[in-house]
């Protein structure tokens, strides 16, 4: 049995740092000696471009190519689509073709029936084929609970939820909005767990783009910990807001390659250690359960 852990990074709100977290968590784990595959499950291809592949539509093999072959019952070699990045991580890229794939999946059958006919199971065989080669597979999901996100959650062992603690302009609205978003997401995850992937677990909520000296960041972070912290882990690490992270993404580099000595790199290094420690605890628990 593979010891690989598959983590989906998801939040139906865009702009919360999912892609930045996928890149930098992946590189952080690689720097700890882990073998890491990143999967871009968003048609906007932000993860692909964040790793320096600025013309994703020119790539001959992407995630959508492979998933379409599975739909068509063709033989599939996932390794043909994997790109090897200079910072020690591998990438299964995306491009605009995934938008068409999403439409085809929705048109093929209603969401209520997708678990029965297997339209939610298309990503899982891709992951299963290659996970023996990796310690971690990180899936960067689109900011919605579309068919591709459901596929990612079906293939995943666990979920990390990046959350940004400063939305909108009025404080009371911001706190309420974050709570409503998280509540909605947690209900969706519960539904996926109940209907499709019972072992799916939530590793935790990661606060991103935090401005630690502002009252609203402190208030929302405290509210999230109070509302969810007893049942769901809120990671100790907080990712600080910094223009350097944005610049790194624009340069197609991780924060470690762009600003190694900066505060964001230090935070993602610490977060990578938290994720690795959690993964090791879960592996040990799984081994103990198998022995019993």
Which residue range is the domain that position 156 belongs to?
5-291
Specify whether the CB–CB gap between 256 and 28 falls below 8 A. Answer: yes
Q: Any idea which residue has 């579309």 for tokens?
A: 146
| pTM score of the predicted model | 0.90
State the CATH number of the domain containing residue 203: 3.40.50.300
Q: DSSP for the chain?
A: ----EEEEE--SSSSSSHHHHHHHHHHHHHHTT--EEEEEE-TT-HHHHHTT---GGG-SS-HHHHHHHHHTT----GGGGPEEPTTS-EEE---THHHHHHHHHHHHS-GGGHHHHTTTSSHHHHHHHHGGG-SEEEEEE-SS--HHHHHHHHH-SEEEEEE-S--SSSHHHHHHHHHHHHHHHHHHHHHHHHHT-TT-EEEEEEEEEE-TTSHHHHHHHHHHHHHHTTTS-EEEEEEEP-HHHHHHHHTT--HHHH-TTSHHHHHHHHHHHHHHHHHHHHHHHHHHHHH-
Q: Per this entry, what is the length of the chain?
A: 292
- Counting the structural domains of the chain, the total is 1
- In this prediction, residue 141 carries a pLDDT of 94
Q: What local confidence, expressed as pLDDT, does residue 175 receive? A: 54
pLDDT at residue 254, as a whole number:
97
Question: CA–CA distance from 31 to each of 9, 36, 99, 209, 256 (Å)?
Answer: 20, 10, 33, 23, 10
Per-residue pLDDT of the chain (292 residues; tens, 9 = 90+): 478 999 999 998 888 899 999 999 999 999 999 999 999 999 899 999 999 999 999 998 999 899 888 888 888 889 999 999 999 999 999 988 887 777 766 655 444 444 444 567 789 989 999 999 999 999 999 988 888 899 999 999 999 999 887 654 334 455 555 667 778 888 889 988 998 899 999 999 999 999 877 887 788 888 888 888 888 999 999 999 999 998 998 899 999 999 999 999 999 999 999 999 999 988 888 777 777 6
């Amino acid at each position: 049995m593979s010891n690989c852990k598959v983590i989906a990074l998801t939040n139906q709100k865009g702009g919360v740092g999912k892609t930045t977290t996928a890149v930098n968590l992946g590189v952080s784990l690689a720097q700890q000696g882990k073998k890491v595959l990143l999967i871009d499950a968003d048609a906007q291809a932000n993860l692909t471009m964040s790793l320096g592949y600025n013309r994703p539509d020119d790539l001959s093999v992407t995630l959508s190519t492979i998933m379409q072959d599975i739909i068509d019952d063709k033989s599939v070699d996932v390794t043909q689509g994997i790109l090897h990045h200079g910072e020690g991580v591998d990438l299964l890229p995306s491009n605009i073709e995934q938008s068409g794939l999403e439409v085809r999946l929705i048109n093929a059958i209603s969401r209520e029936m997708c678990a029965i006919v297997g339209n939610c199971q298309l990503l899982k065989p891709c992951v299963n084929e290659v996970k023996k080669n990796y310690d971690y597979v990180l899936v960067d999901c689109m900011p919605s609970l579309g068919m591709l996100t459901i596929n990612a959650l079906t293939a995943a062992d666990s979920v990390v939820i990046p959350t940004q603690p400063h939305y909108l302009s009025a404080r009371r609205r911001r706190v309420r909005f974050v709570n409503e978003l998280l509540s909605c997401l947690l209900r969706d995850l519960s539904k996926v767990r109940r209907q499709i992937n019972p072992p799916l677990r939530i590793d935790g909520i990661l606060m991103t783009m935090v401005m630690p000296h502002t009252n609203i960041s402190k208030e929302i972070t405290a509210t999230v910990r109070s509302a969810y912290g007893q049942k769901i882990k809120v990671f100790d690490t907080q990712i600080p807001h910094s223009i350097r992270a944005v610049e790194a993404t624009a340069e197609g580099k991780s924060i470690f390659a762009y600003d190694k000595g900066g505060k964001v790199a230090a935070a993602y290094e610490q977060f990578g250690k938290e994720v690795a420690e959690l993964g090791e605890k879960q592996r040990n628990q799984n081994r103990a359960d198998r022995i019993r």
